[in-house]
Structure formats: C-alpha cells, structure tokens
C-alpha cells in the first residue's frame, strides 16, 4: 500500500510539486519560530540563583563624579547605606554595581585551554546574600576577614567552576583567590543563558576613595507588606543626605517584567506572523487539494467502478497527502540540520534542536491532515457513475 502511494505521488510529481513547496516553506518558518520558543522555555526552567521578591533597586546617579572630592562621595555612600538600614521597613541593604535584570554588565575576557572565554563580573558588598537570598554551596561570602588580605577575594558560580575545575572543589584555588561557590547567578534573568560569573568585593569601609566608582545601585530587602508609599519616604531621606545626587527607585519585579517584555516582544511578533502564515497556507493547501480532487474525478470514479470503497478512496487521498508531507519534511530536515554546521542558531543545544524538530514535524503533519480531511471526504463521495461521463 505504501509503495503504491509513493508511485501515485511520483506519477503526479508536477501537480504535487506546489503542495510540497508550500509544506516545505511552512516547515522552515515553523522551525525557526519554534527553536526560539523551545530555547527560552528550556533556559527559563533553570533557577535564578537569587530571590527578587520584595527587593527594591535604588539607582544612584552622580555617585561618582571625577570633578568632586572622592573621599566625600564615599562618605555620602556610607551614610546612605546606613540610612537605608535604619528604616524598620528594611530587612537588609547592600551595595551592588550591576542590579539584576538591569541589562548592564561588566566582562573579563581571557584565554582558557586555548579558547577565548568571557566572564561576567559584579562588585557587591558583604550584605548582598541577605538581600537577594543567595545560597552558598561551598566556602563563605565576603566579610571583614577580607579587609586585611592582600589578595583579591572572589566568589564564583557553578558554571565557571565547572569550566575551570570540573567536579573538583574550587575553594582556595588561584583565580585571584576563590573563597566561595554559589549556584548560577542569572543577573540578566530567566531568558538569558547561563554564564560564567563571579563576584568581587565592594568594601564601602575601604580607605580607597576610588571604591565609589563601583557603586551604582543599592538593593534593599523590604519586610513583607511594606506599602508602596514607603518609596517617597525613602527618597526624601536619601535626598536629605545627598542633595546633589538623584535616585531612581524600582522594584526588581517591575524591572524583571520590563526585561522579559523587551526580550519576548520580537519573538511574539514573529510567532503572530507565523500563525497568520500557517492560516494562509492551510487555506491555500485546502484549495489546492480540492482542485486536485476535482481534476481526478475520472480517475476516482473509475476506482469506485472497479470496486474501491468510499473508505479506501478516503484513505488513499489522505495517504497521498502524508507521503507528500513526508517528502517535504524530509527535505526541510536536511536543510535545518545544516544550520549548526554553518554557525546559524548556534545558541540552541542538541536537546532544544531535537525537541524543535519533532514539534515542527507534528505541527506540519497535523496541519496537512486537517487540510486534507474535507477534500478526501469529497473524493470519497464521488459515485462510480461519474466515470461514465468520460467514456
């Protein structure tokens, strides 16, 4: 039966070519849209490595001004930190260079095992784990012990530890001086892949006035139930200490929402375009199949006259469509498996690629089946007497 279907499709290859091209192009469009969707779903499932609930970001503008007294700027930063901690609504406060979800970042580039490696870094104060709920896997966080050391202490994440040391413990290893290991800290949010990441210490009690250059934000953890009007109270307190500075206060939840919206907007737009394309393809495919059936009335009528049942005709038309779909999908698959070799869609790992491929096959297969139901039904209703009109 299958061999016979392939023969029928081959004998009508010119008539079937248009249908194959429609299915082929539709498959490529669905695959390209789906690969982004599956990729984002995959990376979304990994833990953030911190907690953003009830956390506010206070962006500091003009904290570092090269034309002002740096010692004074550092002293103002200390007073602001203490003022935040003094509020009963605040559970903890910390200084941080790059706030989560903010979109900024610092990178350190180096060569490791003969390959270029880019590391993300962030300067933070000792109280950040209390604010963001960061859990240590090994070692410790920054504390006053680091005031007296001449080495630069760092805390690294799991991805960086795996690259450098594999399954071995990184504590005490020389990368500056590793004092702690934390889960992957996803500063850019759930929709950005895991990165090699490390923290450096930001010590506001340092005698080095240049320290203030690495302070761009405060992060404060609020007690549950703190009303939004506390923002005005906090801003007034900060402006009373630093009249010539400006502050932008936002919750991490709001920053996260804006980041996700910016990331997903182009993907959703592409998905909407792809959906409309699928609708047009479905209508076009149904029309082409309908026309194909009307052109084959003589053939189908003769088959009925020779004893073919309605059910057999119905399944023959659907079977031909499935064969055409299989050939088109096979050609499309041969194309898309070349993408990684050409460096296209390199962000997608093997799991994402395979899931996308299977999902795209299912979507196109289901689409063609749905489009083929009505034309197949029309073909099955053709009576044997129709063949007599062509005798």
pLDDT in tens, 121-161: 999 999 999 999 999 999 999 999 888 877 889 999 999 99
CA angle 383, 388, 390 (to 5 degrees): 115
Give SS3 for 329.
helix
User: In this predicted structure, what is the pLDDT of residue 346?
Assistant: 81
Say if residues 317 and 379 touch (Cβ distance below 8 Å). yes
Say if residues 52 and 100 touch (Cβ distance below 8 Å). yes
Rounded to whole angstroms, how far apart are CA atoms 235 and 246?
Answer: 9
User: Residue 146, CB half-sphere, CA atoms under 13 Å: how many?
Assistant: 23
Sign of CA dihedral 316, 319, 324, 325: positive
Best CA proximity match to 2, nearest among 319, 317, 312: 319
User: In this predicted structure, what is the pLDDT of residue 183?
Assistant: 95
Best CA proximity match to 85, nearest among 234, 239, 250: 234
Question: For the chain, first and last CA: distance in Å?
Answer: 28
Rounded to whole angstroms, how far apart are CA atoms 259 and 240?
Answer: 31
Strand partners, 220: 56, 93
User: In this predicted structure, what is the pLDDT of residue 310?
Assistant: 64
Burial degree of 105 (CB within 10 A; 0-12, 13-18, 19+): middle
Rounded to whole angstroms, how far apart are CA atoms 104 and 102?
Answer: 6
Q: Output the 3-class SS for 5-66.
A: HHHHHHHCHHHHHHHHHHHHHHHHHHHHHHHHHHHHHHHHCCCCCCCCCCEEEEEEECCCCC
The predicted model scores a pTM of 0.78
User: In this predicted structure, what is the pLDDT of residue 278?
Assistant: 78
User: In this predicted structure, what is the pLDDT of residue 295?
Assistant: 64
Task: For the chain, list residues with pLDDT below 50.
Answer: none
Rounded to whole angstroms, how far apart are CA atoms 165 and 78?
Answer: 37
């Amino acid at each position: 039966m299958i061999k016979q279907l392939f023969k029928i499709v081959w004998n009508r290859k010119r008539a079937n070519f248009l249908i194959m091209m429609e299915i082929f192009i539709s498959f490529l469009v669905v695959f390209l849209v789906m690969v982004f969707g599956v990729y984002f779903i995959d990376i979304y499932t990994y833990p953030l490595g911190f907690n953003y609930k009830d956390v506010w970001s206070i962006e500091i503008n003009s904290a570092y001004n090269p034309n002002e007294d740096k010692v004074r700027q550092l002293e103002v930063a200390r007073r602001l930190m203490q003022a935040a901690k003094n509020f009963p609504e605040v559970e903890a406060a910390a200084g941080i260079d790059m706030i989560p979800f903010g979109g900024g970042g610092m990178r350190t580039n180096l060569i490791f095992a003969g390959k270029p490696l880019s590391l993300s870094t962030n300067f933070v104060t000792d109280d950040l784990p209390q604010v963001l709920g960061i859990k240590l896997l090994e070692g410790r966080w920054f504390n006053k012990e680091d005031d007296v050391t001449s080495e630069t202490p760092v805390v690294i994440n799991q991805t960086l530890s795996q690259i450098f040391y594999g399954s071995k413990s990184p504590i005490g290893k020389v990368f500056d001086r590793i004092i702690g290991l934390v889960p992957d800290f996803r500063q850019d949010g759930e929709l950005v892949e895991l990165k090699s990441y490390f923290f450096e210490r930001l010590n506001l009690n340092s005698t080095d006035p240049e320290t203030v250059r690495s302070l761009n934000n405060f992060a404060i953890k609020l007690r549950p139930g703190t009303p939004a009007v506390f923002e005005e109270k906090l801003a007034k307190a900060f402006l009373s200490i630093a009249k010539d500075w400006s502050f932008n206060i936002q919750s991490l939840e709001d920053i996260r929402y804006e980041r996700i919206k910016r990331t997903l907007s182009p993907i959703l737009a592409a998905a909407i375009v792809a959906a409309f394309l699928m609708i047009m393809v479905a209508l076009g495919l149904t029309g082409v199949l309908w026309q194909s059936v009307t052109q084959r009335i003589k053939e189908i009528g003769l088959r009925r006259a020779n004893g073919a049942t309605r059910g057999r005709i119905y399944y023959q038309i659907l079977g031909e469509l499935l064969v055409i779909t299989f050939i088109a999908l096979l050609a499309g698959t041969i194309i898309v498996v070349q993408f990684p070799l050409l460096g296209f869609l390199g962000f997608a790992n093997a799991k994402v690629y395979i899931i996308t491929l299977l999902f795209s096959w299912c979507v196109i297969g289901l689409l063609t089946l749905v489009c083929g139901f009505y034309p197949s039904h029309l073909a099955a209703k053709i009576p044997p007497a129709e063949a007599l009109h062509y005798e």
